[in-house]
Amino acid sequence: MNHKIGTGVFSVALILLFPGLVLASGTVAATTTATTSAAALKADIERTGLQFFLDHAHPMTGMVRDRAENFDSTPEWNRVASIASTGFGLAVVANSASRGKMERAAGEAYVLRALRFARDRVARYKGWFVHFVDWETGERMWRSEYSTIDTALFLAGAMYATQVFADNVEIGAITRSLYAELDFIDMMTDGGKFAEKRTLSMAYSPEMGYTKSQWDMYAEEMILLVLGLGHPTKPLPTDAWLAWSRKRNEIPNGKQVMGLGEALFVHQYSQVFLDFRGFNDGFPNYHDNSTAITSHHRLIAQTDHRFKTLKAGFWGFSAGDSPSGYRVWSPLQYEGTVCVGCTVASAMFVGERVVEDLVDWINGPHREQVWGRYGFVDSVDLDSDWFAPNVLGITVGPAALAVANIEMGTSVWKDFMRIPEIARGLERASMAGLEAQGARTLGVKTATGAGEDSAKNVERARPQVF
């Protein structure tokens, strides 16, 4: 079977498998050929994001390619699918169907195909999915790890799709089954070896066992922990929420921020699903923190003109492609490469300012190099006169979802935050943090070290229950 992307063969297959689907092949960049307004650009980002997940989900399995060409046809030998990319695809498709951007029946068929295949054919360990698979067979690729965060992102997409397609009994049943089978306690204790450990291991592999790397830093694991705290049968203990560092650093405007040394995506992945506005666990608010981090990334581009890329106004220090391969950058360590595709996902924090920059980029001198079939390129490095030829599903997906999150009425948040298990997980996280803050105020030793990095004299408020 020919799976070549960008050809009539693949488009016909999609139409046959998803009746009512309207493909935008050949027209995805139509509105970016002249001066583009903010409203038009936001619509284009959502539309091209959807197009990526329609074009690069295998028509028989629903597994979504990890990456694809943004300007040329993606070669047939590109068979690597990512379980996280597939999860973002479930969310993008569900959100699009909920808003009439594709027919609802086509969206349901897309989601159901991926869920059935994931359940039946993709390898799992204690419920945790393998990170990279062959998009047609589901076989494990590259001795890939069984990943906690990538599974969490897949499940978040599935749970959101379940909310959107609430009348589809099978979608709900498969999602609940996959969730119930996740063994959070096993990944926390490394198979029972460390009964007192409260951080989750990042992954497991048959060759290496549980990873030494832990979710003990300020990173993207919030969605993972909330899912664990809200698990229907074997939830994580609440002190797991306290086991990761909230260490803060001061930025030039005097604010203290968490995760300054981390890539921008760290501040985005969980929050395309979780709306932390108003959430209170006694620590600095996570949405506000991401807003401050985003503004700091932007400030660096305005003040550090050592690199042509930054001088031209591009910003976004994150994980992505570069002239020297896949790299990870942060405000504390960067060169002339920025992930402009990653920047888009911060639109849910400071929408107006981010969109203004995006409009400048699309209407600027590099228009033809920064925008392709699936929207903004992954990365840009003007110092090397280089523009990424590929896009990644884990960048395209958050970008489309973040733009949807700019307005509550179109957001993922309004449905995702209503999921009972998510509400329960957030309530338990909130109570854990507030109780720990109260214990520290009274001078009581707590079970974990998270509070060593926490704010002092934090006002105790009632837990926010969603």
pLDDT at 9 exceeding the cut of 60: no
C-alpha to C-alpha distance for 412 and 121, rounded to whole angstroms: 28
Which two three-digit tokens encode residue 175? 């999602």
Give the three-class secondary structure for 255. coil
C-alpha to C-alpha distance for 344 and 399, rounded to whole angstroms: 5
Give the three-class secondary structure for 258. strand
Mean pLDDT (the chain, rounded):
90
Residue 458: CB atoms within 10 A of its CB come to: 18
Residue 29: CB atoms within 10 A of its CB come to: 17
Top-level class of domain 249-418: mainly alpha
Is residue 92 within 8 A of residue 397, CB to CB? The reply is yes
Task: Specify the pLDDT at position 147.
Answer: 98
DSSP string, 401-449: HHHHTTSGGG-SHHHHTT-HHHHHHHHHHHHHHHHHHHHHHTTPPPSSS
Strand partners, 250: 256
Amino acid at site 412? V
Is residue 63 within 8 A of residue 133, CB to CB? The reply is yes
pLDDT at 14 exceeding the cut of 70: no
What percent of the chain is predicted at pLDDT more than 90? 86
Ramachandran angles phi, psi of 350, nearest 5°: -130, 70
C-alpha to C-alpha distance for 394 and 154, rounded to whole angstroms: 11
Which pLDDT band holds residue 235 (cuts at 50, 70, 90)?
very high
C-alpha to C-alpha distance for 65 and 54, rounded to whole angstroms: 11
Going from N- to C-terminal start, the domains of the chain cover 249-418
Task: Specify the pLDDT at position 6.
Answer: 34
Polymer length of the chain: 466
pLDDT at 441 exceeding the cut of 90: no
3-state secondary structure 289-338: HHHHHHHHHHHHHHHCCCCHHHHCCCCCCCEECCCCCCEECECCECCCCE
Locate the DSSP E strands across 65-217.
67-69, 80-82, 124-125, 128-129, 132-134, 146-147, 203-205, 209-210
Dihedral, 200, 150, 147, 196 alpha carbons, nearest 10: 10
Task: Specify the pLDDT at position 443.
Answer: 54
Which pLDDT band holds residue 438 (cuts at 50, 70, 90)?
confident
pLDDT tens track for 77-115:
999 999 999 999 999 999 999 999 999 999 999 999 999
What is the Cα 77 distance to its own chain's centre?
26
Which of 12-21, 319-328, 370-379 is least confident?
A: 12-21
User: What's the predicted TM-score (pTM) here?
Assistant: 0.89
C-alpha to C-alpha distance for 6 and 4, rounded to whole angstroms: 7
Q: How far is CA 67 from CA 201, 203, 248, in A?
A: 26, 22, 34
pLDDT at 445 exceeding the cut of 60: no
DSSP string, 327-381: EE-BTTB--S-B-HHHHGGGGGTSHHHHHHHHHHHHTSTTHHHHEETTEE-S-EE
Average pLDDT (419-439) is 94
| Opening angle at CA 462, ends 292 and 346, nearest 5 | 20
Strands 67-69 and 80-82: unpaired
pLDDT tens track for 203-230:
999 999 999 999 999 999 999 999 999 9
Task: Specify the pLDDT at position 31.
Answer: 44
pLDDT at 252 exceeding the cut of 60: yes
pLDDT tens track for 37-80:
999 999 999 999 999 999 999 999 999 999 999 999 999 999 99
Dihedral, 78, 25, 268, 135 alpha carbons, nearest 10: -30
Is residue 254 within 8 A of residue 426, CB to CB? The reply is no
Which two three-digit tokens encode residue 307? 């690199």
Average pLDDT (152-176) is 98
pLDDT tens track for 370-423:
999 999 999 999 999 999 999 999 999 999 999 999 999 999 999 999 999 999
